[in-house]
Structure 1
């Protein structure tokens, strides 16, 4: 044989059949060359699971999917599921020249999983860097984030930005002590005031998953009651998450948890803590050093291990609605957690929202409330003053306070502080016709008229002075202050009671606690400080201004704010009195007099069911320029049951004025359409809107474009 291979084959000795197999093997080896080691830019890839599936931090809908990257041997040990990485992403990231990948900027992301092969047919770029080997994205958190993104027609990357705080290297170096042993089950304490309160705690301590809508009694004990519910959950070997609207509420629950649980058993998650402390507390939760969390809305994603209870307090507060995409509400996120993790759920507040009433009406949760006799003992006496009586009362001309209010203040100041709630903070009043209440507008630009020096009328927009004003509706020439702010009210009361100290609490300066000595405390809604021993009395002024807002939730929100303020007043047995200046026949006012927020929410729910408004239906708002909204709704494959309401024009955002997240760009004329579907079809609506928005973005429809908000809190 002439070839070396043939000569080698002849040189092999052995039986003929063995020689035949050997020749066949050598021919096959010659035809199929040996595979070269897999490398990227000369670096060998990981031997096992060389592909990392990454969620890049790019919150646009048409990129809401995982991207595959190669894992080099150098990064193999650290590039585990859940860690932060940096990858090349963008133009040129997938172009290869001379075996080297070009272009693409570095962007952050999370490794979701490691797999053996990629579905992508072309060559893969490799992970550029493992930012930290700390696995911050667990499978449970990933599942929750995906569920939230789907519910709100948003992207997973946006939800992960809300759920996982920014990294702090110094915090990651801290060693946390092992978790403390589970505490013993607490006694019922003040939960005994509720008919099903002790049974609720027993279910938590026994490892159960009860769901309850809790109407808390007025007074300061709600924080301690939440702490006892958390303690019962920890006694079963599980964890708990408590979400409250603001920092002051966090401080109260934090103190209650420290008293009931002791130190070292819970973490506090708030944005005010600073990046290092916040991340350190978050890591303590993720690593299992603590099993309980209290915080503001970002705590709804806290990665508590073996979750047994989620609590949301005062779900009607707007602070619980996230202002960043995809705009989730803490109540809805915790409902999802309760369903996914099969844990207990507690929605509490001194008032009751329509959504809470819907949870009870649907059977998803059970009511948890006190008997009427207990409510009457705990709540203050509520008296009403109608606006017509206020107009006839000569004693009320100077400070819009009727004789009943003056008398209540005088009597209350004999035994303690008196709270005065006014709808807004500020000195300059907005004006309206005294006869028909039509807002006073500038004849030049239709801006609101003001009286900064209590004499000359001046436009709040263009600054022109107005003389000889008459109402455009009824022709009357006299004006009244539409809303008098907290500062001016404080001045009026200070002149009326010169020997009594007057304190104000509002957006710029919020008081937390005031002494139990006689004083006047003037506050805007939500900024009321707690008085030591409770307030002796409270005045709720300008109720018509809160009830007259063009908003579906105006009555519900007014009642919630009134009850929150009245809950700080001593009970009726201790002589506490509340005077509300509003039309006595209105349903929210009557609900306050009877202290029946649940009944008000149930009646509101029945009315919304007749009208087809949320929460009986699911709704989404689509806003943008008129032509963009029209085109979007035309191409979106909405569910067959979908009903489009509108579009209607939105108010133009003026230059120099505060702009909310949902407001149009300054000076642009936008429209908004509402899309409504029956209950149970919300997922289909969100999916259709998400697909249409992703297609629009993929075609280059970026910029301000079209905005989508699922379950908008304000559809007025």
Structure 2
């Protein structure tokens, strides 16, 4: 039943009245009477008899459309168990809301297709059947590995997919790689082997690029896109096309991780370190973990790819669950741009001010020379806006909102400071320490950076790409592109130079994944530069001795991921262990943990302060005890739900942020 109560997370038996017998099939939406109320539910299975002596009848079959596939129902149950959640919560994520008009349109179209054709004397005779060309995705022939030849294990991966086997791979993409074409190759090989595929990407821009690549490779109407941004009607229509088996491939954002696909042969995810893959709704599953669980249940292939590599992906390699697909070092050197840090000893000897300058001389001269060569320059800035953080110009005290103590920001050069938390304008702001009224920049945003560089290079076109407007591509030729991480547009022919500014903003975050995230963002931007042989250069404003910078200089994400995983094993952090967070008011958190039959080797950490006067406790267990931890927390949540405990508690297994 679609009821958000943990203690009701189990199937219930109902009788099927004779008039609903034909429509009441497994997977349909129904309405049932429960506790005197009419509630929504899912019909999971039809059986001959029940162990319960007295049963109520189904009230209604909402739609005869069996939207819940058996494979997806099993997956949803496994995901709910893994994340200490309920099946109803997962099904809300797995199946989009019903759109009656779409069902009616599809039914009318099916009826018209079943009607006998009307002869037409002027109609041309039917064309003879032409077999598909050998090597095409629809013909079952071998797929040309093309760009996968740059990776020694790449052609073997495609052969295994074409043969219908289930290889598991962690792919580290080269600089300048057209990852959408490589994923299209993998999907085409899977389809050629007679099986389907699900591919999940972080955002709509990546989805558009992959959509175009698959259309070029498979042809039109061979796949559908699933995304919450499509709108209710288009999303439901695409979902039903996949459910009916009209297309063998589904691609999308995290909304597609549960997409129903017949004879699933491949699940793939691009850039699994992007936080957009983490579902913000209960039970907070991560798309990577859902897809890997799905590959295990369906005996399907799995492909985890990106320019960077997460510690979770490295764990797959080190445990033998997956094999890495990487290029040899000679190919890496040939494809990578020249990458230079500004904080190493040789650079500091030439420019002593580079340690504190936001745009050291190396970065400035690299941009100048690239623009003179009539090539575009990409500048990555971690913060959006104009001045997202300001301070007193006299005593350097951070400027805070007098109402909520949130940080004040300036929207423009002539703008009025406003709070980033509550939105209140602080036109009459005075520093509480010295009484000063002048403000200076503490953090510079993308729009202020564009303004400064526009003055430094007059006459050069300046474009910005960020939250307000994300550019998909920019033309070749001299120009400056200022972008926030994840919003970098593709340049025709690649960028002549890429400048990575304000590295401290990424590296100094109080987050377990700060170094991993910084390297991920840098590699994604640097991958858009031309190779060294074509003049491509990347300048990172950071100390070259730092581990993430070293990984960037060598273009060796696997080395950094192995180092990161080893450190987390030593410190007892995910993914080396399984960890759950319990957040709520102190009394509710203590109540839940007191009622949870935790494993004997569980370690409880905390409490630490959380938002809005709440606290957070962490529970850590070895990976082998992960299922026992999830079951204990789910049982405790069910007990509190049955008692109608007043204060809610949020349970998250393996949350992205631990601090």
- Check whether TM > 0.5: yes
* 1:593-630 deviation per Cα after TM superposition (whole angstroms, max 9, x unaligned): 11111100100100000001000000000011112112
Is 1:689 the equivalent of 2:620?
Answer: no
The answer for the alignment partner of 2:23 in structure 1 is: 78
Pick closer, same or farther for the CA change 1:150–1:405 going to 2, 3 Å.
Answer: same
The answer for the alignment partner of 1:700 in structure 2 is: 644
- Check conservation: 1:459, 1:465, Cα contact below 8 A: no
The answer for the alignment partner of 1:189 in structure 2 is: 146
* Unaligned segments of structure 1, at least 5 residues: 1-55, 93-103, 472-477, 652-667
Mapped to 2, the partners of 1:230 and 1:391 lie a distance apart of 51
Mapped to 2, the partners of 1:499 and 1:396 lie a distance apart of 26
The answer for the alignment partner of 2:319 in structure 1 is: 362
- Check conservation: 2:75, 2:294, Cα contact below 8 A: yes
Is 1:428 the equivalent of 2:428?
Answer: no
**How do residues 180-259 of structure 1 correspond to structure 2 at under 5 angstroms?**
182-259=139-216
Correspondence for 1:321 among 278, 292, 297: 278
Larger radius of gyration: 1
Pick closer, same or farther for the CA change 1:433–1:601 going to 2, 3 Å.
Answer: farther
Is 1:508 the equivalent of 2:451?
Answer: no
The answer for the alignment partner of 1:126 in structure 2 is: 57
- Check conservation: 1:159, 1:326, Cα contact below 8 A: yes
Mapped to 1, the partners of 2:101 and 2:527 lie a distance apart of 43
- Check conservation: 1:442, 1:466, Cα contact below 8 A: no
- Check conservation: 1:432, 1:439, Cα contact below 8 A: yes
Pick closer, same or farther for the CA change 1:181–1:561 going to 2, 3 Å.
Answer: closer
Which stretch shifts more, 694-703 or 336-345? 694-703
Mapped to 2, the partners of 1:363 and 1:350 lie a distance apart of 21
Residue 584 of structure 1 and its aligned partner are, at CA, apart by 2.1
Mapped to 1, the partners of 2:466 and 2:564 lie a distance apart of 30
Mapped to 2, the partners of 1:408 and 1:680 lie a distance apart of 51
TM-score of the aligned structures, taking structure 1 as reference length: 0.82
Residue 432 of structure 1 and its aligned partner are, at CA, apart by 6.5
Residue 465 of structure 1 and its aligned partner are, at CA, apart by 2.8
Pick closer, same or farther for the CA change 1:391–1:151 going to 2, 3 Å.
Answer: farther
Which stretch shifts more, 162-171 or 434-443? 434-443
Q: Which has the higher contact order (CA 8 A, sep 6+)?
A: 2
Mapped to 2, the partners of 1:563 and 1:267 lie a distance apart of 29
- Check conservation: 2:69, 2:243, Cα contact below 8 A: no
Which stretch shifts more, 351-360 or 384-393? 384-393
* 1:49-93 deviation per Cα after TM superposition (whole angstroms, max 9, x unaligned): xxxxxxx11132111011222211111111111111112223x3x
The answer for the alignment partner of 2:123 in structure 1 is: none
Mapped to 2, the partners of 1:570 and 1:125 lie a distance apart of 68
**Number of residue pairs the alignment of both structures matches:** 625
Mapped to 2, the partners of 1:270 and 1:338 lie a distance apart of 21
* CA root-mean-square deviation: 3.0
- Check conservation: 1:677, 1:685, Cα contact below 8 A: yes
Residue 399 of structure 1 and its aligned partner are, at CA, apart by 8.0
Residue 482 of structure 1 and its aligned partner are, at CA, apart by 3.4
Mapped to 2, the partners of 1:264 and 1:237 lie a distance apart of 17
* 1:379-403 deviation per Cα after TM superposition (whole angstroms, max 9, x unaligned): 1111111299799969889983111
Is 1:88 the equivalent of 2:33?
Answer: yes
The answer for the alignment partner of 1:140 in structure 2 is: 71
- Check conservation: 1:457, 1:465, Cα contact below 8 A: no
The answer for the alignment partner of 1:371 in structure 2 is: 328
Is 1:679 the equivalent of 2:623?
Answer: yes
Correspondence for 1:573 among 527, 533, 536: 533
* 1:223-270 deviation per Cα after TM superposition (whole angstroms, max 9, x unaligned): 111011111111111111111111111111111111111112111111
TM-score of the aligned structures, taking structure 2 as reference length: 0.89
Correspondence for 1:164 among 95, 98, 106: 95
Is 1:110 the equivalent of 2:42?
Answer: yes
Mapped to 2, the partners of 1:436 and 1:378 lie a distance apart of 48
- Check conservation: 1:85, 1:132, Cα contact below 8 A: yes
Mapped to 2, the partners of 1:368 and 1:528 lie a distance apart of 25
For residue 697 of structure 1, give the secondary structure of its aligned residue in structure 2.
helix
Is 1:407 the equivalent of 2:368?
Answer: no
For residue 624 of structure 2, give the secondary structure of its aligned residue in structure 1.
coil
For residue 57 of structure 2, give the secondary structure of its aligned residue in structure 1.
coil
